[in-house]
Structure 1
Amino acid sequence: MNILITGTNRGLGYELTVQAVERGHKVIAGVRSSRPEGQLLELMGRYPGQIEVVELDVTKEDTIARLAENIKAQGQVLEAIINNAGVLLGRGVPLEDLSMDDVVRTFQINLFGPIMVAKHLLPLVPKNNSGVVINISSEAGSLTNAYGGDYPYAISKTALNMFSKQLRALVKKQGIGTRVFALHPGWIRTDMGGDKAPGDPRENARNIMDIVESKTEIPAEHFFINFKGEPMPI
Structure 2
Amino acid sequence: MNEQTIALVTGANKGIGYEIAAGLGALGWRVGVGARDAERGEAAVAKLRAADVDAFVVPLDVTEDASVAAAVALVEERAGRLDVLVNNAGITGSAAQQPTTVDVTTVRTAVETNVIGVIRVTNAMLPLLRRSPSPRIVNMSSSVGSLTKQSTPGAETGPIAVAYAPSKTFLNAVTVQYAKELRDTNILINAGCPGYCATDLNGFRGVRTPEQGAAIALRLATLPDDGPTGGFFDDEGEVPW
Q: Distance in 1 between matches of 2:77 and 2:164?
A: 36
Aligned pair partner of 2:209 in 200, 204, 208: 200
SS in structure 2 opposite 1:135? strand
Is the Cα–Cα contact under 8 Å of residues 81 and 132 in structure 1 kept in the other structure? yes
Aligned pair partner of 2:180 in 169, 186, 201: 169
Is the Cα–Cα contact under 8 Å of residues 90 and 99 in structure 1 kept in the other structure? no
1:191 alignment partner in structure 2: 200
Q: Distance in 1 between matches of 2:74 and 2:45?
A: 22
Residue by residue over 1:38-79, the C-alpha shift from the partner in whole angstroms, topping out at 9 and shown as x without a partner, is: 851441441567111011100101111222233335561111
Q: Distance in 2 between matches of 1:221 and 1:2?
A: 20
Q: Distance in 1 between matches of 2:169 and 2:53?
A: 37
| Structure 2 length-normalised TM | 0.85
Aligned pair partner of 1:89 in 87, 93, 113: 93
Is the Cα–Cα contact under 8 Å of residues 62 and 121 in structure 2 kept in the other structure? yes
2:69 alignment partner in structure 1: 65
Where in structure 1 are there 5+ consecutive unaligned residues?
none
* Cα-Cα RMSD: 2.4
SS in structure 1 opposite 2:33? strand
Q: Distance in 2 between matches of 1:128 and 1:58?
A: 22
SS in structure 1 opposite 2:105? helix
Aligned pair partner of 2:14 in 10, 14, 29: 10
SS in structure 2 opposite 1:192? helix
147-156 or 109-118, which moves further after superposition?
147-156
62-71 or 162-171, which moves further after superposition?
62-71
Amino acid at match of 2:89: A
Identity %: 25
2:154 alignment partner in structure 1: none
Are residues 164 and 229 of structure 1, via their aligned partners in 2, closer, same or farther at CA, if it must alter by over 3 Å?
farther
Alignment of 1:1-234 (within 5 A): 1-36=5-40, 40-47=44-51, 50-73=54-77, 76-91=80-95, 93-126=97-130, 130-146=134-150, 149-172=160-183, 175-214=184-223, 220=228, 223-226=231-234, 228=235, 230-234=237-241
Q: Distance in 2 between matches of 1:97 and 1:134?
A: 33
What displacement does 1:29 show? 0.9
Aligned length: 229
Where in structure 2 are there 5+ consecutive unaligned residues?
152-158
Amino acid at match of 2:144: A
